[in-house]
């Protein structure tokens, strides 16, 4: 509001109330929480970059258990069972850089666009997440700043490191899926998800099928066609880098022995493909 001085020709500057002090909130991550991302072999010399978006079931201590019992936090709704173990073993085999997320997808899913309503799920596989209900904008932003952005910054840094060496990053994203969904069995042992860039997924599907032991899904049990906002779509596709997203059935990799076997299966199929000349080029494939 404007105030008039005693002289009608004298005006003061508008008077504004001081801005309210920001509400004091505790940092989301405490000293005993894990980091939002872990990078393995950051100084690796090859172009292969492994990412594992749903590596962990951890929840920041400040958020407790999100109102869920332990048996729910052990399920696939919290993380991709076995995916981190496969990723670590592939990183060891190839001496490759790998970036693994540090927190549960229930807190915030790094394989979603921020504006996606499922990025902070209120319901997952028919399970209500009490700790995610009625979050205000500040609480949502806190998760974005503390968890989502640092994970993607770590992936971006790994991509930049490979690119700075004059190499074209080859991104392989590792996930796992349930043996059945809503009562329908899923026969695939492994699924290869991709959009319009065939350079890595097509020969990888052929290599996995040639083994003779596995039921291999081509964009099954999910499709990579037309997806937006995920890690691959953020860091690989727009830059023209070759990429693929793997879905391994979680019952096959839920034990150390299973994870070791599937790291070998994937590694054996992947190894000769990394020398393909087509993977050493940048190519933009138009969306269908």
Query: Each residue of 130-143: pLDDT tens digit?
Result: 999 999 999 999 99
Question: What is the residue-averaged pLDDT of the chain?
Answer: 92
- Cβ neighbors of 37 (< 8 A, separation 6 or more) are 99, 100, 101, 102, 150, 151, 153, 154, 155
Token pair 């840094």 is found at 157
Query: What dihedral angle (degrees, nearest 10) is formed by the CA atoms of 160, 98, 117, 243?
Result: 70
Split at pLDDT 50, 70, 90, the class of 25 is low
Q: 122: which 2 tokens?
A: 């209120």
Confidence of residue 125 (pLDDT cuts 50, 70, 90): very high
What's the pLDDT at 287? 76
Report whether pLDDT(5) > 50.
Answer: no
Least confident range from 11-20, 201-210, 250-259: namely: 11-20
pLDDT classification of 9: cutoffs 50, 70, 90: very low
Q: How far apart (Å, rounded) are the C-alpha atoms in residues 194 and 201? A: 7
Question: DSSP state, 279?
Answer: G
- At 27, the pLDDT band (50, 70, 90 cuts) reads very high
Structural domain spans, the chain: 37-275
Residue 13 pLDDT greater than 90, yes or no: no
Surface-to-core class of residue 54, CB atoms within 10 Å of its CB (0-12 exposed, 13-18 middle, 19+ buried): buried
Q: How does pLDDT run across 64-105, given as a tens digit for each residue? A: 999 999 999 999 999 999 999 999 999 999 999 999 999 999
Query: Residue 63 has what pLDDT?
Result: 98
Q: Shortest CA distance to 109 belongs to which of 64, 175, 49?
A: 175
* Residue 140: Cβ within 10 Å count: 16
Domain 37-275 falls under CATH 3.90.1860.10: no
Joined tokens for residue 12:
């003061």
11 pLDDT above the threshold of 90: no
- The H-or-E segment that residue 8 falls in is none
Rounded Cα distance, 22 and 25, in Å: 9
């Amino acid at each position: 509001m404007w105030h008039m001085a005693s002289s009608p020709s004298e005006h003061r500057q508008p008077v504004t109330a001081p801005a309210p002090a920001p509400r004091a909130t505790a940092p989301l991550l405490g000293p005993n929480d894990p980091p939002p991302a872990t990078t393995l072999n950051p100084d690796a010399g090859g172009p292969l970059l492994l990412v594992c978006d749903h590596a962990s079931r951890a929840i920041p201590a400040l958020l407790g258990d999100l109102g869920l019992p332990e048996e729910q936090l052990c399920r696939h709704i919290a993380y991709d069972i076995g995916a981190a173990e496969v990723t670590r073993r592939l990183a060891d085999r190839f001496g490759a850089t790998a970036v693994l997320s540090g927190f549960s997808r229930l807190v915030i899913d790094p394989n979603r666009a921020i504006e996606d309503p499922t990025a902070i799920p209120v319901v997952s596989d028919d399970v209500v997440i009490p700790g995610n209900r009625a979050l205000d904008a500040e609480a949502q932003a806190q998760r974005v700043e503390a968890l989502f952005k640092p994970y993607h910054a770590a992936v971006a840094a790994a991509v930049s490191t490979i690119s700075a060496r004059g190499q074209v990053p080859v991104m392989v994203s590792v996930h796992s899926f349930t043996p059945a969904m809503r009562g329908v069995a899923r026969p695939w042992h492994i699924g290869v998800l991709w959009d319009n860039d065939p350079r890595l997924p097509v020969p990888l599907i052929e290599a996995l099928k040639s083994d003779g032991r596995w039921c291999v899904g081509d964009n099954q049990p999910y499709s990579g066609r037309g997806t937006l906002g995920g890690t691959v779509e953020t860091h690989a596709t727009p830059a023209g880098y070759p990429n693929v997203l793997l879905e391994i059935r979680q019952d096959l990799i839920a034990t150390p022995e299973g994870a070791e076997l599937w790291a070998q299966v994937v590694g054996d199929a992947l190894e000769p493909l990394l020398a393909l000349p087509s993977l050493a080029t940048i190519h933009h494939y138009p969306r269908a």
